[in-house]
Amino acid sequence: MAIQKVGVVGCGLMGSGIAQVCAAAGFATVVREVSPELVDKGIKGIEKNLARLVEKGTITEEKRSETRGRLKGTTVIEDLKDCNLIVEAIIEQLPAKRELFGTLDRICGPETIFASNTSSLTITEIAASTKRPQRFVGLHFFNPVPVMKLVEVVRTIATDATVYEDVVAFGMKLGKTAVRAHDSTGFIVNRLLVPYLLDAIRALEEGVGSIEDIDNSMKLGCGHPMGPLTLLDFVGLDTTYYISQIMFEEFKERRFAAPPLLKRMVLAGWNGRKS
């Protein structure tokens, strides 16, 4: 099936980026938020981004206008019913995602493919809220979506092979490198990244090095663009703590367990840049 029209649910940090790249890649894109104010805020954010790209000479005025022309904001969920693919990027809570997909399952045609941008929830469990688990995948983008080149395309044990390849091809059409991953908590990136970040906190706790020396070691010794403790500040300590709890629950391995210092910083409200 050719994917021509894309629905995006949620126009926050991730949803707005996903809607922007879909429209820029030539797909008719409808993005749904819960209130007219949030639709407006999300679309204005995208317009600002596109204007900045024109200023920098990255895209032409014509490309900006075409991209904007393919993008429509709505609060009405029925406006997504004729989409070929719907990408969900709402809050990271299973009941909310299950309720949304239950509704979409009722209003969309049987051919529509569903995708979730979840970082830590199990795709299989979200898909089970629909009658189309064979047409359900994970499509995990990275922040900021227009800049980051990767998308993880996640298949469950129920995902149809043709549907999966259609979504991999879709990811490539967005200009991303699409990597294939199974529905294992954390997929590929967080499976490797989260224990690394937690180990950096443990190294600090155990006095192996100072904050500055730990960060400089990975920057200058391994060529990373930033050290792990700086990266934690960007990702958010609360988000890291939340994901580590889900991963520990799944795998029961110490490498996924939150170090006491992380828990205490989160309890104190020291979440990194955002706070």
Q: Report the C-alpha gap between 108 and 26 in whole angstroms.
A: 22
DSSP secondary structure, 204-239, as one string:
HHTTSS-HHHHHHHHHHHH--SS-HHHHHHHH-HHH
Compose the 159-188 pattern: x for residues touching ligand NAD by CB under 6 A, - for all others: ------------------------------
244 binds ligand NAD (CB under 6 A): no
Is 190 catalytic? The answer is: yes
Is 61 catalytic? The answer is: no
| Side chain identity, residue 137 | V
138 binds ligand NAD (CB under 6 A): no
Residue 115 pairs in a beta bridge with 87, 137
Q: Report the C-alpha gap between 138 and 154 in whole angstroms.
A: 4
The nearer residue to ligand NAD, 96 or 211, going by C-beta atoms, is 96
Closest distance between ligand NAD and the C-beta of residue 38, in Å?
A: 5
* Residue reference for tokens 């904007």: 68
Q: Do strands 136-141 and 150-155 pair parallel, antiparallel, or not at all (unpaired)?
A: antiparallel
**Which of residues 119, 190, 244, 271 is near ligand NAD by CB under 6 A?**
119
> Distance between terminal CA atoms of the chain?
45
Structure tokens at 201: 């906190």
Is 119 catalytic? The answer is: yes
Nearest residue (beta carbon) to ligand NAD: 12
Closest distance between ligand NAD and the C-beta of residue 115, in Å?
A: 11
Catalytic residue among 16, 49, 117, 152: 152
Residue 104 DSSP SS3: helix
Is 33 catalytic? The answer is: no
Q: Report the C-alpha gap between 70 and 141 in whole angstroms.
A: 21
Number of shown-chain residues binding ligand NAD (CB under 6 A): 24
Q: Report the C-alpha gap between 97 and 173 in whole angstroms.
A: 26
89 binds ligand NAD (CB under 6 A): yes
Q: Report the C-alpha gap between 56 and 77 in whole angstroms.
A: 35
Closest distance between ligand NAD and the C-beta of residue 61, in Å?
A: 28
Compose the 34-73 pattern: x for residues touching ligand NAD by CB under 6 A, - for all others: x---x-----------------------------------
117 binds ligand NAD (CB under 6 A): yes
Angle at CA 195, nearest 5°, toward 182 and 116? Answer: 35
Choices 88-96, 130-138, 226-234, 252-260 (CB under 6 A): range interacting with ligand NAD:
88-96
Which residues fall within 8 angstroms of residue 61, CB to CB, at 6 or more apart? Answer: 54
**Which of residues 40, 52, 91, 131 is near ligand NAD by CB under 6 A?**
91
Catalytic residue among 119, 120, 244, 271: 119
Which of the residues are catalytic? 119, 140, 152, 190
> Residues in the site for ligand NAD, rule: CB under 6 A?
9-15, 32-34, 38, 89-92, 96, 100, 117-119, 140-143
